[in-house]
Every structure is written in C-alpha cells, then in structure tokens.
A and B are shown apart, each in its own frame.
Chain A
Amino acid sequence: QSALTQPASVSGSPGQSITISCTGTSSDFGPYNLVSWYQHNPGKAPKLLIFEVSKRPSGVSYRFSGSKSGNTASLTITGLQAEDEANYYCCSYTARSSLVVFGGGTKLTVL
C-alpha cells in the first residue's frame, strides 16, 4: 500500500483544467516543502514535472502547477491536451530511513 493517497483516475476534456490530489500524514510530508510530481507514460521513462511543491524544471510547460495545503499536495493541469494523457505520481521526502514515499498514481484520461 502506497503511503500517499491519490485518486485512481481523473478525466477532462481538451482545454479544461484538472487537479490531482495527494494526501498523506504530517510524518509523510514533515516540515519540508519537498513534494514532487512525475508524469509517466507506460514503457517510457517517468518525467519530473514539479519539485519543491510548486517549482517547474526547465522545459516543463507552464500548464503544470503544484501547490500544498496542510497534508494535501495538488497538481493542476490547465488547458488539457491529448498529450497530457498519462499516469501521474506524487512523491514526498520523509526524512525517515525510507527517504521518500510515492503516491499510488492517478491515470489521467483526456476525453
């Protein structure tokens, strides 16, 4: 069982916005703002979309944004495009011996 809870699936139409939640405990997130998000298409390498809750690596579209409130982090994708259809995973640094914990993943379907 994954430590962070994500919805199994979300869907949206092209041009719409969607938000994927990622819920954990205070010990999962700790006092750190070290939440990251990954996009994963089966058979391909996962891609880092967001780090430190809301920062985007160079080359990642502005349509992807992250936030965190309490023990819930969120990934928002605006202006949905067909190419956004993928699995999305959240991840948090825990400062425990397990270092990081992932969410169970959310499958995004673009209708």
Chain B
Amino acid sequence: EVQLVESGGHFVQRGGSLRLSCAASGFTFSSYSMNWVRQAPGKGLEWVSHISGGSGTIYYADSVRGRFTISRDNAKNSVYLQMNSLRDEDTGVYYCTRVPPRPGIAAAEFDYWGQGTLVTVSS
C-alpha cells in the first residue's frame, strides 16, 4: 500500500525557516517524481515544487522560487522541502504527492497524496 507521511509543520515567525519531510513507503521510491502541493486556509490547492526520481529535474512555483528548496534521499525514501524567508502567505497545509511516470511530461497529475502538515507563519 502506498503511503506518504508528512512531518515538520510548525508555527514559525515571519522571516523564519522550516524543513518539511515526507516519508514514502509501498512503492519503488526512486522511480517516481515527487511534488509538494499546498493549501492556504480557505483557499484552493497550489502546486509548489517538483523533483524527479534522480533529482535531476527540479521546478518551483514563482511564489516560492529562491526561498524554497526541494530535495530527496532515495536511500531513506524521503523527500524534503526547505522553506526559508517565510511569509504570512506561506501559511497552509503542505501535501506530499506522488507523480505517475509519463514520458516527456514532468508532472500532469498526482496519484497519491499524504494527509498534509500544517505550516503557520506569523509575526
């Protein structure tokens, strides 16, 4: 059974840093791209970042580029999101998602999601 378990969400002051983790199980982790998607309170879903199975391809949303860094450790079946210079608008639930492989397309849909971890940014 595919499982994605996020952790690391916390209250953090504006301008601070946080590292989210996602532990994966139930599939060959290194064969899949992984993404982070977030949801601000009362808002819709927003794609945040993408990393390919071998970490060779990485993308970021314009809203987080330069502040967030995605990485993965295939030996630990884990993907991470380092978040720096946090802003109020970064508040929300962050979901770890798996991307089914599709030739030539980095990420078109997300077939498994974790339950999310809550990040709260405030002064």
Using CB atoms and an 8 Å cutoff, list the residues of chain A in contact with chain B: 2, 32, 34, 36, 38, 40, 43-48, 51-52, 57, 89, 91, 93, 97-105
Most buried by B among A48, A98, A99, A101: A99
A36: contacting residue among B44, B109, B115, CB under 8 A: B109
| A93:B105 contact, CB within 8 angstroms | yes
Distance, CA A36 to CA B4, complexed state (A): 20
Using CB atoms and an 8 Å cutoff, list the residues of chain B in contact with chain A: 4, 37, 43-47, 50, 59, 61-62, 95, 100, 105-116
What residue in chain A is nearest B115 (Cβ atoms)? A45
Distance, CA A45 to CA B106, complexed state (A): 22
| A48:B109 contact, CB within 8 angstroms | yes
The 26 sampled A-B contact pairs (Cβ below 8 Å) are A2-B44, A2-B46, A32-B105, A34-B105, A36-B110, A38-B110, A43-B115, A45-B4, A45-B113, A45-B114, A47-B113, A51-B109, A51-B111, A57-B111, A89-B44, A91-B110, A93-B108, A97-B62, A98-B47, A98-B59, A98-B61, A99-B59, A102-B37, A102-B44, A104-B44, A105-B44
